[in-house]
Structure 1
Amino acid sequence: MEVLYSVFIGLLGFLLRLASPFHPKAKAFVAGRKKLFKQLSASITDTSPLVWIHCASLGEFEQGRPVIEALKKEFPNIKILLTFFSPSGYEVRKNYDKADYIYYLPLDTRKNAARFIALTKPVLVIFVKYEFWHYYAKELHARKIPLISISAIFRKDQIFFHRLGGFYRKILDNFSYFFVQNDESRQLLQSINITNSKRVGDTRFDRVHQIVKQGGEIDIAKAFKNDQKAMVIGSCWPEDIEILAPFINENKMKFIIAPHEISESSVVWLEKQLLVKSIRYTAASQQTHLEDYQVLIIDNIGMLSRLYRYGEFAYIGGAFGKGLHNILEAACYGVPILFGNKNFEKFQEAKDLINRGGAFEIADYTDLKAKYEMLNLPENFLLACEVTRQYTEENLGATEKIMHYCREQLGVKPH
């Protein structure tokens, strides 16, 4: 099986090189790994202890970020090496100031793993969520370097729990500890005789809670709301708007819409779906008579997490397409959350909040209208608000639980 795995990794590298002249992401994937070991050798010359954190992409980075920042704050003498598998993570965060070194992860071959670990000499390694690489895990175990998995989540349909998944179960055997998101993950690991795990939740709760605490007012959004009932629609796609537009057009409350795509053509298309008066954020000012508008379109990036404070309701986009976007930012404000009824099931927080009565999946316009009318009843609204608020609060603290383990492994006193 190890031979087949090596062949697969080699084939993956070959196909990416083949596609690189024609596909921008493949090109970045290949180009980012050229002369990587030479760059590592030249840059990592400090003898300070090094902690290596690996993330697949941007979403996993957000889960690793609270731990990176806690490590850097508590142990400023430690160097942080951050690696990404995907260009979509690396390109966005290659200048992240809390990491000392940021690189792509070389493909998981026996030679690459041995060379990478020999060059970087980590004292502790953290893989985030779904990252389980055979040769890296094997090499770290052989060198007795602690390797932990954080914000991990397991499902019974994964190869680890299949009767033919012995090779992949051995990868998990090389991990020192698993910090998992839910009890199901811990129980699944126990079913294959892996007991070195603990349910601590998702570190994103800590990150989002921190953003909420630090976030300031958005004056134009505050003036636009003007103490009226509002719904904040975050990261929406055309598939979401097709359902939302009739609801917006017949409803008297205010709407703040942050589309996923903010290109001119996307914003113009959105405006054409609306029969009520709308204004773009970049066209508004304190002098604008915002009371004359029913919809505020956010045509820039970076403020969505702060916008949810202005809504009594939140709708999160993406579930009618590739996958639901982040609902934790809205949950932190203690508001009822709505989203599409398709691609949300891989998000634990979405399933949890549906089960508890804080989030609601919608199938179409009629379903959206019915769910909204149900939530408009004071007792239902207050209950949903309390559910999302309580759910967020009880899931805080994963970062500190992971840090307790890291302190023991690092064997150094906090600064």
Structure 2
Amino acid sequence: MIFIIPKGRKLLKQRKDSLNLLLSSKPDLKRKTVWLHAASVGELDQARALAKEIKKQNPNLLILQSVYSNSVTEKQRIDPNFDFSFILPLDFPFAYNPVFEKFKPVKLIFLAWDTWPNLLRTSYKYGCKSYLVCASLSSNSGRKKGFIHSLTKASFRYLEGIYPSHPIMAEEFKTLSPENKIESLGDTRFESVLNRIESGKPPERFVTFTKKYKSEITDKKPILLGSTYPVCESFILDFISGWSLQNKSLPSFWIFPHKWEPGRMKTFRMKLEQITTVKTFSELVDQNSEYPEIILVDELGILAYAYQFARFAYVGGAFHNRVHNTIEPAAFALPLITGPKISNAPEAIVMQRLGGLISCPSKEDFFSALERFISNPKEAEELGAGNRKFVLENKGASEKIYSRVFSNDPN
């Protein structure tokens, strides 16, 4: 693999250097090129799964992969199925001509939502067919309003096909493109997540922990609170305090802070200890301690493996900025609770509409959701099963997309 690494600190210089390095490369011009474009990390997961399927079906195809966000790290851009990777230049009318002239791509595939008008027009000009796959669009998206709606609709006429991640998402595209171009084919990111779960090995310390406290974990399955921020933690503290005042038996909680900031965690722990027993994960592994009501997880790399032991999960980020990964806990048949900011995650939107995810606008709604799942374990179990069914339905999305995009000209 040849990997294009942008240099420089400023975004414009990064883009320029990345493009120049790409153009100075020496691809095998006898191979046909497929160009995948992903906006950021989530879309890159989708591109990774699709690239794997493309190489499986046709190893001779050259895959050119671009990202837009300069926050995507060098490590995240590396994949054995990407022949070349670079940061997309800004969307000026002639910015992409050198790439098309050098690589002559026959397919341009956008992941999720990040389509650029000039890139689409340039692709059409050079006879390269363009597609939007794993397509997602929220009902309140700015792309469906006013002038931007007209601009998006004009750009979408250059697309050969729009393949939403779910039939619910397909409805959102009907005002932007003819219906005969729209077909729901699933989301390849589910495959990336499932592959990580199925092939990954939990950290040895987590294995030690689950063996050491096997009976306690089995007897009192925890409520898992993942990727918590200060606002989440204040809500959690108030809920636990209120629950304790009602003299109810306190459930077991595993809390995974988004960032382990010693000062913040010390204060949070002190307040929790006024109510019940609290230990950190590392204390439980390294010392002979009784199993507490609340565990603060102070080590990385554990969250994805912890979901399998939980009753249900809260996924953080959506009270702060945007919701974190909801696919992982859903894959373990957990019903989910989160905050209001889920427009970045089509899978969260779909799960909400299917009933397996509760998006809480306020602290009071968060309390109500927790009480609902604690008090109605059978309902929680049924909703979790629905979430897992939704995840498994997306297996095979890469193969479906490959078949549709390459059906008439696989070579």
Give the TM-score band, short-chain normalised: 0.7 to 0.9
**What is the rounded CA distance, in whole Å, between the counterparts of 1:216 and 1:312 in structure 2?**
22
Count, aligned residues: 385
Deviations 1:279-336 (CA, angstroms, capped at 9, x unpaired): 4344553x63354333333334333222211211101111111111121111111112
Question: 8 Å contact 2:284–2:291 — kept in the other structure?
Answer: no
2:278 corresponds to:
278
Aligned CA distance change for structure 1 residues 113 and 269 (closer, same or farther; 3 Å): farther
The whole-number CA distance in structure 2 between the counterparts of 1:190 and 1:247 is 42
Residues 142 and 205 (structure 1 numbering): CA distance in 2 closer, same or farther, change over 3 Å? same
1:238 maps to 230
Which residue number in structure 2 is paired with residue 206 of structure 1? 191
Q: Does 1:149 align with 2:148?
A: no
Contact 2:226 2:255 in 1 (8 A): yes
* TM-score normalised by length of structure 1: 0.82
> Which of 56, 60, 64 is the aligned partner of 1:77?
60
1:370 and 1:59 map into 2 onto residues whose CA distance is: 30
- Distance in 2, matches of 1:365 and 1:166, equals 38
Unaligned runs of 5+ in 2: 1-7
Take 1:279 and 1:409, find their aligned partners in 2: how far apart are those partners? 60
Indicate which of 123, 136, 139 corresponds to 1:140. Answer: 123
Equivalent-residue separation in structure 2 for 1:51 and 1:159 (angstroms): 30
Q: 1:90 to 1:382 in 2, by over 3 A?
A: closer
Checking the alignment, whether the CA contact within 8 Å between 1:50 and 1:121 is kept in structure 2 is yes
Query: Within 5 Å, which residues of 2 pair with 1:19-98?
Result: 27-47=9-29, 48-98=31-81
Shift of 1:266: 4.4
Change (3 A) 1:38 1:354: closer
Q: Distance in 2 between matches of 1:135 and 1:190?
A: 22
Alignment-mate amino acid for residue 129 of structure 1: A
Kept in 2: contact 1:203–1:398 (CA 8 A): yes
Q: What residue in structure 1 maps to residue 4 of structure 2?
A: none
Alpha carbons 2:23, 2:98 under 8 Å: kept: no
Structure 1 portions without partners, runs of 5+: 1-25
Change (3 A) 1:253 1:109: same
| CA distance in 2 between partners of 1:289 and 1:97 (Å) | 44
Distance 1:180 1:337 in 2: 23
In percent, how many aligned pairs have the same letter? 22
Q: Distance in 2 between matches of 1:310 and 1:191?
A: 43
The alignment partner of 1:391 has SS state of helix
Q: CA 1:121/1:282 → structure 2, altered by over 3 Å: closer, same or farther?
A: farther
Q: 1:92 deviation in Å?
A: 4.9
Shift of the 152–112 alpha-carbon distance from structure 1 to 2, 3 Å rule, reads same
Distance 2:197 2:18 in 1: 37
Root-mean-square deviation (Å): 2.8
Alpha-carbon separation, structure 1, partners of 2:181 and 2:364 = 47
1:219 counterpart = 2:207? yes
- What whole-Å deviation, never above 9, does each CA across 1:340-375 have from its counterpart, x for those lacking one? 2x2125533334333433222345565444433432
Letter of the structure 2 residue corresponding to residue 254 of structure 1: S
Q: Is the 8 A contact 1:28 1:87 kept in 2?
A: no
The structure-2 alpha-carbon separation of the partners of 1:243 and 1:110, relative to structure 1 and needing over 3 Å to count, comes to same
Residue 29 of structure 1 contacts residue 86 of structure 1 at CA under 8 Å; is this kept in 2? no
* Cα distance in 2 for residues equivalent to 1:146 and 1:119: 17
How far 1:177 sits from its partner (Å)? 1.3
* 1:221-279 per-position Cα deviation (integer Å, ceiling 9, x unaligned): 52446312101111111111111124346463332222111343444344344224434
Cα distance change on mapping 1:145 and 1:300 into 2, 3 Å:
farther
Cα deviation code 1:112-150 (max 9, x no counterpart): 111122223223221111211112111111121121111
How many Å apart are 1:171 and its aligned residue? 1.2
What TM-score results when the alignment is normalised by the length of structure 2? 0.83
- The whole-number CA distance in structure 1 between the counterparts of 2:75 and 2:277 is 35
- Which 10-residue stretch deviates more, 216-225 or 230-239? 216-225
Q: 1:33 to 1:277 in 2, by over 3 A?
A: same
- Matches of 2:166 and 2:336, distance apart in 1: 21
SS at match of 1:289: coil
Aligned-partner Cα distance in 2 for 1:122–1:337 = 41
The aligned residue for residue 5 of structure 2 is none
Structure 1 counterpart of 2:3: none
Deviations 1:39-85 (A, max 9, x none): 11232432333222111111221222211222233333333222111
Query: Contact 1:247–1:369 (CA<8 Å) still a contact in 2?
Result: yes
**Code of the aligned partner of 1:80:** I
Partner of 1:356: 354
